[in-house]
Structure 1
Amino acid sequence: MKTRIISLIVIAMTTLGMNVQAQNSSADKKVLVAYFSRSGNTRAVADHIKNLTGGDMFEIQVAKPYPEEYHACTEVAKKEKEDNARPTLKNKVENMASYDVIFVGYPNWWGTMPMPILTFLESYDLSGKVVIPFCTHGGGGEQNCFKDFVKHIGKADSKKGFLISGGQASSARPQVESWLKGLKLIQ
C-alpha cells in the first residue's frame, strides 16, 4: 500500500513537472513589444501586451519629432508616405538578436503604417523571428496596415495582427488577452 501511494505521488509529481515544463516552453520565448505612438493609444495597447507576456518594451521614436499640432503632423506624415521616406530613428534595439517574438505597434496613418515603422523593420534581420503587428486607428480601420506590414518583415514569420479604435485602447486588455491566447502566446 505504501509503495503504491509513493508511486502515485511520483506519477503526480512527474505529471506536474511536465505541465510546468510545457508552460515554461512558451514562456521561454523572449518577447519585445516595440511601438510608435503619437497620442498614447498605441502605447496603451503595448502596455497590455507587455503586462500579459512579460516582454520588454521599446518605444520607436524619430530623431526629428513630428509637429505636436494634429493637422501639421498629418501633413508631414502624408509627405513622408508620398516620398516613401525612411525617417531617422532616435534609438535602436541593441540586442534584437536575443528576441524570438517581436510585437510592432503603430497607428493607422494615411491607410497604412507610419513610415518610421518601415525604418524600424528594415533596420534589423528578422529572419526566423515571429513578428506580430498591432494597430490603433481613429476611424479608418485596418485599410492596408497589416498587408503592407507583412511585405516588410523579410523572412520573419507573421501572425494575425490586432486592431482597435484608439478610443478603446486603454480598456482593451480583455481583447488583447483573447488575441494573445488565440495566437497561443499566453495561456
Structure 2
Amino acid sequence: MQALIAYFSRAGENYFSGALRTVPVGNTELAARMLRELTGAELFKIEPLLPYSDDYNECIAQAQDDQRRGARPELREYPDSLEPYDTVYLGYPNYWGTMPMPVFTFLEHFDFSGKTIRPFCTHEGSGLGHSVEDIRRLCPGARVEPGLAIRGTGVQAAEPALRAWCGR
C-alpha cells in the first residue's frame, strides 16, 4: 500500500496560545514530517500560486475573504496522479472550522473514489471543526477515516498521538 501525505501549512507569523510568533516551518508541516517518518509516505505540500501573507493579520483577512467567497485559489502544482496511492493523509490548519481554501482546490482537482483519506489538522482550540464533513462532501467516493486534531502549541510533542492514530 502506497500513501501520500498532502498538506497545507503556513510559516511566518502564527498564533500560539494568545500570542503571535514567527516560525520558519508551519505546525502542520511539522506534523506531516513526523507522519512521514512514521509511515514512509511521500510528502506533497499544497501551495497556492499566490501565497497568503507572512503577516498574521493580513493572512487572516486574505483567508477569511477566500472562505467568504468560496474561492478556489489556484495551486502552484499538483501531484501527477493519485493512482499509485491507496491512502492520502490530508493535513491542514483549522481555519474557521474547516480547511483553508487551497485544500478545497486540491480535493476538487482529483477523483478520490476508492481512496482512503485520513485527515489531520493543527489548531489552537477548535479541533477538527466540520472539516471531516467537508471532506466527505467533496470526496463522496472516498473512505474518510476519523481525523486527528493536534494543538499547534503541542505539535513538537505530537509523535505519540500520530503514532497511535496511524497504527505504527
Mark yes or no: TM-score above 0.5: yes
**Distance in 2 of aligned mates of 1:46 and 1:81:** 24
Q: How does 1:14-25 map to 2 (within 5 A)?
A: none
Q: Secondary structure at the match of 1:34?
A: strand
Unaligned runs of 5+ in 2: 12-25
Q: Is the 8 A contact 1:30 1:100 kept in 2?
A: yes
Q: Is the 8 A contact 1:136 1:164 kept in 2?
A: yes
Q: Is the 8 A contact 2:117 2:144 kept in 1?
A: yes
Moved over 4 A (4+): none
What is the percent sequence identity of the aligned residues?
A: 39
Q: Which residue of 2 aligns with 1:44?
A: 30
Report the structure number with the largest CA radius of gyration: 1
**Distance in 1 of aligned mates of 2:43 and 2:30:** 12
**Is it true that 1:35 corresponds to 2:21 in the alignment?**
no
RMSD: 1.0
Q: Which residue of 2 aligns with 1:173?
A: 159
Q: Which residue of 1 aligns with 2:150?
A: 164
Scaled by the length of structure 1, what TM-score is found?
A: 0.79
Q: Which residue of 2 aligns with 1:54?
A: 40
**Distance in 1 of aligned mates of 2:165 and 2:128:** 16
Q: Secondary structure at the match of 1:32?
A: strand
**Distance in 2 of aligned mates of 1:127 and 1:147:** 16
The CA deviation at 1:103 is 0.6
Q: Is the 8 A contact 2:53 2:59 kept in 1?
A: yes
Q: Secondary structure at the match of 1:88?
A: coil
**Distance in 2 of aligned mates of 1:101 and 1:143:** 22
Count of matched residue positions in the alignment of Structure 1 and Structure 2? 154
- Select between 63-72 and 133-142 the one with higher mean Cα deviation: 133-142
Q: Which residue of 2 aligns with 1:94?
A: 80
Q: Is the 8 A contact 1:131 1:153 kept in 2?
A: no
1:149 to 128, 132, 135: 135
Q: Which residue of 1 aligns with 2:21?
A: none
The CA deviation at 1:44 is 1.1
Unaligned runs of 5+ in 1: 1-28
**Distance in 1 of aligned mates of 2:118 and 2:70:** 22
What does the per-residue CA deviation read over 1:77-125, in whole Å, with 9 as the maximum and x for residues that have no partner? Answer: 1111110110000011013111110011000111111001110001111
Q: Secondary structure at the match of 2:83?
A: helix
**Distance in 2 of aligned mates of 1:87 and 1:51:** 30
Q: Is the 8 A contact 2:7 2:92 kept in 1?
A: yes
Scaled by the length of structure 2, what TM-score is found?
A: 0.88
One-letter amino acid of the counterpart of residue 44, structure 1: L
**Is it true that 1:83 corresponds to 2:55 in the alignment?**
no
Q: Which residue of 2 aligns with 1:109?
A: 95
Q: Which residue of 1 aligns with 2:14?
A: none
The CA deviation at 1:139 is 2.2
Structure number with higher helix proportion: 1
